[in-house]
Every structure is written in structure tokens, then in C-alpha cells.
Amino acid sequence: MKNTFKGAITALITPMKEDGKIDFAAFEKLVDDQIKNSIDALVVCGTTGESATLDDTEHRDLIKCCINVTNGRVPVIAGTGSNDTRYAIDLSVHACEMGADGLLLVTPYYNKTTQRGVVKHFTTIADKVNKPMIVYNVPSRTGFNILPETYKELSYHENIVAAKEANGNISSVAETIHLCGDNLDVISGNDDQIVPIMALGGVGVISVLSNVIPKETHQMCSLMQQGKVKEAAALQLKYLPLINALFCETNPIPAKAAMNELGFCTNEIRLPLCEIAPSNREKLVKIMKEAGIKF
């Protein structure tokens, strides 16, 4: 099963109505727009989709909606991670049964597992599913960091095909790619490191930026795949102010504000997150306009 997902992969926001319920019509519009703008794959119910505050029914309904609307046009990767291995298995198996093309599972958070424990966690899940898994390393949120040697051990499992790496450590990424070789693809989890990670052998990005500029994010990855590093780097640097603005507050607060400006959703975001500060929204809009984004 060592096939994987490449290019620009959008970590979709979850649009919500003013009453806090999911706006499925807006979500469907967003999925269609992403596909029309050349995105390579979609992640539903990831961090950017506020998975932490979706209840079980919402989580499953969103995955089903994304699969139905996409209708095979691009791969759908379902976020099914949990700090409870049993629940992660249940949600992952259900996503496979619904027709997800792959699974994205974050490292366990709060429990404070060990490197040995995280191997058992992911391999136990991988034993129960029949779709390719991407493990997601984001220590700034989870308090846990997967070491390169641990990635090597995980890479031996046929169903574990890639890592979404968001630890920010380029040296660690290089060591992971060196140790794992063709057994594990590395996907950037940080929009400001798309070109650096792909230059080391990474295969793409799971992106917040591509909610806002899917076509340009796809182009950046495509240029790297063609070996056009100088041109790709120029795009990376051009959009660096926008990337930074999209992380001026906790993701997905600025992303939702940007997508609201573009008419895709309301400002609604679930507590304990709250809508962007007015001063930061003003800066974000200014940077979006300077980037050439049309409102």
C-alpha cells in the first residue's frame, strides 16, 4: 500500500452558521471551489476544520459530505486522530467504510505517551484499516514530538505511508527522510516550509494557505515537482507575509476571517477559540490585498 498523496493538499476549514451549527452548503461550495482551482487532495476534519470541537455525529457527517461532493475528483483524507486509540480505530474504520481515500491521525495529546507508546498507538490503528495512513506530528499543539528513529519504525508498517511534519525542525525532517527513504513520504505541515521540505525530498504540503489561494499553492508544489526550485522559492517568499498573517492568531482563527472576507463562511468559530481581533483582521485584509487576492 505504499502509495501516498502528493502536492498541495488543503486542510479544509469547517464553515459554521451564526447559531454555531455546521454550514454544509457553504462547505460544499468550498470543496467545489478547491477542486476547480487545481488542489491535489483535501483533508476534512483536521485541526483547521476544528476537529477538537466537532461531536462524533458532526465528524462523521462532514467526512461523508466531503466524500460525496468530491465524488472521486480528488482524494479525500479524513482526519480521524484521537488520544484514545480505541476511538481513533472506530472513527478510522468508519471513514474507510464511507470511502475515504486516506486517513490523517495526529499524535496522542495530553496523555504524555512515549516514543514506544506512539508506535503501538499508530500500528494498532494501522492493523485495523485498509486505507493509507498519514501520521501527523505537531508538538506545538500536542506536547509530543515524533523522533526520526520512531518514524523509521513506523515506516515498516504497510498502511503507514506518510508523515505530516509540523515540528518546524528542518534538520529533523532531513534525518527522517534519510532514515526512512522510500518507506515513508514526508509532507510539510507548515506553509512557510513547503519549498525547503520538498527540496529535501518531501512530496507536498497539507496546507492552511490553500484555503485562501489553492491554485497558487498547487503551483508552488508543482514547480518543485518539476525541479523548478527558483520559481517555487519565489512563490514561497511572495506569499510569506500572507502565511505569517494566517498564523497571527491560533489556526484556524485567521483562516476563517480570510475566508469570511472572500465570502465562503461566517465569522463563527467554536469556543474556546474566538473570532480574530479587529486589529489583526485589518492587517490580514491589507496583506491579502497586497498579495493580489481579489475580494
Q: How far apart (Å, rounded) are the C-alpha atoms in residues 207 and 217?
A: 8
Amino acid letter, residue 199 = A
Catalytic choice (6, 136, 239, 256): 136
State the pTM of this model.
0.96
**Catalytic residue check, 164:** yes
Give the domain 7-226 fold.
Answer: TIM Barrel (3.20.20)
Cell of 134: 498519514
Q: What is the pLDDT of residues 152-193, one digit of tens each?
A: 999 999 999 999 999 999 999 999 999 999 999 999 999 999
Catalytic choice (6, 131, 151, 164): 164
Exposure of 277 by Cβ count < 10 A (0-12 exposed, 13-18 middle, 19+ buried)?
A: middle
Provide the pLDDT for residue 1: 55
Provide the pLDDT for residue 3: 64
Domain boundaries, given as residue ranges, for the chain = 7-226
The helix/strand/coil state of 105 is strand
Report the mean per-residue pLDDT for the chain: 97
Provide the pLDDT for residue 2: 61
**Catalytic residue check, 136:** yes
Q: What is the DSSP string of 206-272?
A: EESHHHH-HHHHHHHHHHHHTT-HHHHHHHHHHTHHHHHHTTSSSTTHHHHHHHHHTTSS-S---TT
